[in-house]
Amino acid sequence: MSPEIDWDDAFANGAYIDGSAEYPPRWEQEAQAFRASATLRRDIAYGPHRRETYDLFLPEAPPRGLVVIVHGGYWLKFDKSYWSHLAAGPVAQGWAVALPSYTLSPEAHIPQITGQIALAINHAAAAVAGPICLTGHSAGGHLVTRMICDDTTLPCHVLDRIAHVLSISGLHDLRPLLHTQMNAELGLTDETARSESAALHNPYPGIAVTAWVGGHERPEFLRQSALLREAWARKGCNAHLHVAPQQHHFNVIDGLAQPDSPLTQALLSQTPPLA
């Protein structure tokens, strides 16, 4: 990696977003309001750790399938409770939505977190029939693309149900993070940075992939999304890149809360038609 690049600055989203400190409290408030009115199975355990739980939001009718939304925060911050409102769009379209928490770094390193998300998806897939769509933001975008890499721990019967993976501002090449201060907590090594980089893997065949990123994001996030699309398209994946105009790293996810937004429509568009 080039020594001329300030990698800490390259990943510093909040410093380049006006009013960035206002976003997490707003997310938390909107999430709480949605939980108060939603049909919700709360804190379903998928493992023994206190953070190995997910919330499952259900539509009024039998679900058309399962959406899994994985939160971001550089594997260091947040939990499922900040993002409940992002289930609103898919739920209104008739989908069940699972939002898992996972153990944060430095208590868990990224390979362990990847394994936890596979366990959560496997558990939720057993509870909800039909096609599966995976989406996640930032570190969550990394985690959902890792689910369909050639070293995935997801069983084939679950992989074969995944119709679409939509990574929102995801991180798909973790090697630059070796040169950041946050790696003191992430604990990446040369080996794990490579093995956890989805762009360096072969994707599971037959699954559509979209790398969705805001047009006003940091250049590194634009590069990461373009890299995944190019790398996986070269390997035969039905991979697409969408740059959302005028959006930055913190508001690029907002569309998931709306059933008719371009983001929600894109997430669900690659699924098989209803029987």
Note the pLDDT tens digit of each residue in 234-273. 999 999 999 999 999 999 999 999 999 999 999 999 665 4
pTM above 0.85, yes or no: yes
Task: Give per-residue pLDDT as tens, 144-183.
Answer: 999 999 999 999 999 999 999 999 999 999 999 999 999 9
CATH of the domain at 204: 3.40.50.1820
Task: Give per-residue pLDDT as tens, 20-75.
Answer: 999 999 999 999 999 999 999 999 999 999 999 999 999 999 999 999 999 999 99
Give domain status of residue 79, yes or no. Answer: yes
Give domain status of residue 201, yes or no. Answer: yes
Asked if the model's pLDDT at residue 207 lies above 60, the reply is yes
Task: Give per-residue pLDDT as tens, 5-21.
Answer: 999 999 999 999 999 99
Asked if the model's pLDDT at residue 1 lies above 70, the reply is no
Number of separate domains in the chain? 1
Asked if the model's pLDDT at residue 90 lies above 60, the reply is yes
Q: How confident is the model at residue 4 (pLDDT cuts 50, 70, 90)?
A: confident
Q: What are the DSSP calls for the chain, one per residue?
A: --TTS-HHHHT--GGGSTTGGGHHHHHHHHHHHHHHHSEEEEEEESSSSTT-EEEEEE-SSSPS-EEEEE--STTTS--GGG-GGGGHHHHHTT-EEEEE--PPTTTS-HHHHHHHHHHHHHHHHHHS-S-EEEEEETHHHHHHHHTTBTT--S-HHHHTTEEEEEEES-----GGGGGSTTHHHH---HHHHHHT-GGGSPBPTT-EEEEEEETTS-HHHHHHHHHHHHHHHHTT--EEEEEETT--TTTTTGGGGSTTSHHHHHHHHTSPPP-
Q: Whole domain around residue 200: which residue ranges?
A: 7-269
Give domain status of residue 150, yes or no. Answer: yes
Residue 3's pLDDT is 61
Residue 275's pLDDT is 39
> What is the share, in percent, of the chain residues with pLDDT greater than 70?
97
Give domain status of residue 209, yes or no. Answer: yes
Give domain status of residue 275, yes or no. Answer: no
Give domain status of residue 1, yes or no. Answer: no
